[in-house]
Amino acid sequence: MIDRYSPEKIYMQISKAIEADIQDVFEPGDLYLSEKVLTEKFGVNRHTVRRAIEELVKQGILEKRHGFGTFIAEKRLAYCIKGHQRFTESVEANDLLAESTVLNKKVISARGGVAEKLQLKNNDEVIQVDSLRKVEGKVAALITHFIPKDICPAISEKYESGSLGEFLKAESNIQPKRISSLVSSAMPNAEDSFRLGMASSQPVLKVKTVNEDTQTGRRIEYSITRFRSDMIQLEILINT
């Protein structure tokens, strides 16, 4: 099974063998073989097996849990590679993706980027809302909204789900309008990759948006959206 005279390193041979093994026999979510079993199966040292597994974890194919075992990762990267079935969203749409769940709400003091984008003074009160957006039942994005508290204090109590834009219209007679969007690519922090249910080795697509009120011109919302890069791509629409 292992060719010790091949120029290909043993850990890479094992890594590929495991990858093939997974696709033949295992399902996403299954517990995979332990390091001890693999050590005996391939006739190599445990550290070599660990190195092979490390490759697959890096690729998002396996996941480990200290003291418990190694798992076949839920579809992720494979999803994207197989069918190029990524969802295409438009940044022109004010409220992306249908389903929405609020994760938490809190009042913070404006500072740095938030104060700047919302044109507030430091320590002005801002409501922060973190919410999860799903597509076909799967988590696709994580959005952090910042809204000056005086604009719509009702958010803290009432807003639970659905479109935040619609909520603002209904509660505060405000017509939000997107005035700028900045798109970038970055690695997710540990919390975000966990919430998005994705491998921490995969990047996210970040969109920072500022909305103002059509009538008054006041900045009313700043949001940072992190899309799962294996699920979502953005389409830029052209106005002709």
Partner DNA sequence: TCATTTCACTTGTCTAGACATCTAAAACTA
Partner DNA sequence: TAGTTTTAGATGTCTAGACAAGTGAAATGA
Residues that bind its own copies (CB under 8 A): 84, 86, 88, 91, 113, 178-187, 201-206, 227, 229, 232-236, 238-239
Shortest Cβ 78–DNA spacing (Å): 21
Among 41, 59, 69, 102, binds DNA (CB under 7 A): 69
Which residues, in sequence order, are CB contacts of 47 under 8 Å at separation 6+?
Answer: none
Q: Tell which residue, 229, 232, 141, has the closest CA to residue 187.
A: 229
3-state secondary structure of 17: helix
Asked whether 103 and 132 are in contact (CB, 8 A), the reply is yes
Q: Please, what is the Cα angle at 216 between 210 and 222, to 5 degrees?
A: 15
Contact between 46 and DNA by CB under 7 A: the answer reads yes
- Residue (146 or 227) nearer to its own copies, CB: 227
94's contact among DNA, its own copies, none, with CB below 5 to 8 A by partner kind, is none
- Residue (41 or 51) nearer to DNA, CB: 51
Shortest Cβ 233–its own copies spacing (Å): 4
Residues 3-22 that bind DNA (CB under 7 A): 7, 9-11
Shortest Cβ 27–DNA spacing (Å): 17
Give the binding range for DNA (CB under 7 A) out of 16-24, 40-48, 153-161, 232-240.
40-48
Which residues, in sequence order, are CB contacts of 48 under 8 Å at separation 6+?
Answer: 10, 11, 14, 42
Q: Please, what is the Cα angle at 32 between 29 and 38, to 5 degrees?
A: 165
Which residues, in sequence order, are CB contacts of 171 under 8 Å at separation 6+?
Answer: 152, 154, 155, 158
16's contact among DNA, its own copies, none, with CB below 5 to 8 A by partner kind, is none
Shortest Cβ 31–DNA spacing (Å): 8
